[in-house]
Amino acid sequence: MIPKSLKKKITIEAFRAANRLSKNLGYDRLCRLMNVMAELQIRFARRRVEAVKKNFRMLRGDETGWQETFRYFWSSVADTLILPHVSGDWVRAKLERMDGLHHAEPFRGKGLIVVSAHLGNPEFLANVAGILGFKGVAAAEVPSGEWFREFLRIRERFGLKIVPVKGSYPKLLEALRRGETVYLVSDRKVSSKEGGYVIRVGRGYRRVPTGFARLSLETGAPVVFAYGVPLERCGKYYGEVSPPFHPKDLDDAMEWFSRHLTEKLSRWTDRWFVFWDEWLEDRSLLP
C-alpha cells in the first residue's frame, strides 16, 4: 500500500505537471488529450461507469448517453487546467449565454448565497462570477499546504477567495455580513452542527449538508441556485441563475433545493459529474 504522505506528494507533482503541460500544449491539443482520457475511462473505469449508469437510471429510467458524461467531464478538465494561462476576455468569450443574471444584480454588495452542485463546471462558473464582478468567498474541500497553493492558481484566478471547507462557517458568515457573495457546492459540510438532510432526486435518496440554508436563515441573505454547463465539448457554456429565495425554515430551504436539483439534473444528466455510488433507491438504507 502506498503511504499517505507519498500519495499526497504524487498528487501535488501530478497537478503541477498538468498545469505546465496545459500551458505548453495549448488549448486545442489539451482538448484532444483530454478526449483520449475520456475514452480510456469509459473503457477501463468500471466502478465509475457503473455509478454513472446508475445515476442515469435514477433520473431518466435508462442508461442512454451515459458515455457523454465522461467526455463532457474531461473537456471541463481542459477548460479548468487552462484557466491560469488565459485572460478574462477568453473566459467571457466562452460564455454563450447566462440566463437569470438580473436576479443576482440587486444583491451585489448586500450579501448573496450561491449554491450549486457537481453539475457542469463549477470552476468555470466561479471564474465567470469573478469576471462579472460578483467577487466573494467559496468553501473548497482541499488539503492544506502545497496542494492548496497549487489549487488556488485556478480557483482564485479572477477574484474569488477560497477558504478550506473545514471550519469555514464563521468565515462565510462574516463575508455575508460584509455584503459579499458566498459560493457553496451543495455537498460541502461547512459546520460541525450539520447532521445532513435527506433529499430525493428522481428515484434516489441522499443526505446532504444544510450549510447554505443555515447561513441564509441566520443572516437573512437570499439564496440562488446557479450552474454553468458546457454546450459542447471544449466549446461554449450556458449558465443559469435562479430567482432569489428567502427560506422560512430548514424544511422550506431543502425542499427548494431538492426541486431545483431534480429539475437541472434531469435536464443535464450527461453533465452531472458524480462518479461514485452516492444515491440509494431505498431510503431506509441511508445511514
- Give mean pLDDT in consecutive 10-residue pieces for the chain, a chain of 287 residues: 66 74 91 96 97 96 97 94 91 95 93 94 86 87 62 75 88 95 88 86 94 96 97 96 98 97 97 94 87
In angstroms, the CA 86 to CA 253 distance is 37
DSSP secondary structure letter of residue 248: S
Residue 201 identity: V
Question: What is 83-131 written as a DSSP string?
Answer: GGGS-HHHHHHTEEEEETHHHHGGGTTT-EEEEE-SBB-HHHHHHHHHH
pTM as predicted: 0.91
Place of cell 468553501: 139
Q: What is the pLDDT of residue 240?
A: 97
Q: Identify the H or E element spanning 177.
A: helix 169-177
Copy the grid coordinates of residue 286.
441511508
> Number of C-alpha atoms within 13 angstroms, CB side, residue 205?
11
Identify the CA nearest to 259 among candidates 242, 276, 274: 242
Question: For residue 121, how far is the Cα from the chain centroid?
Answer: 6
Q: What is the pLDDT of residue 11?
A: 67
- At residue 129, the pLDDT reads 87
What is the structure's pLDDT at 125?
84
Measure the N-to-C terminal CA separation of the chain; round to a whole number of Å. Answer: 29
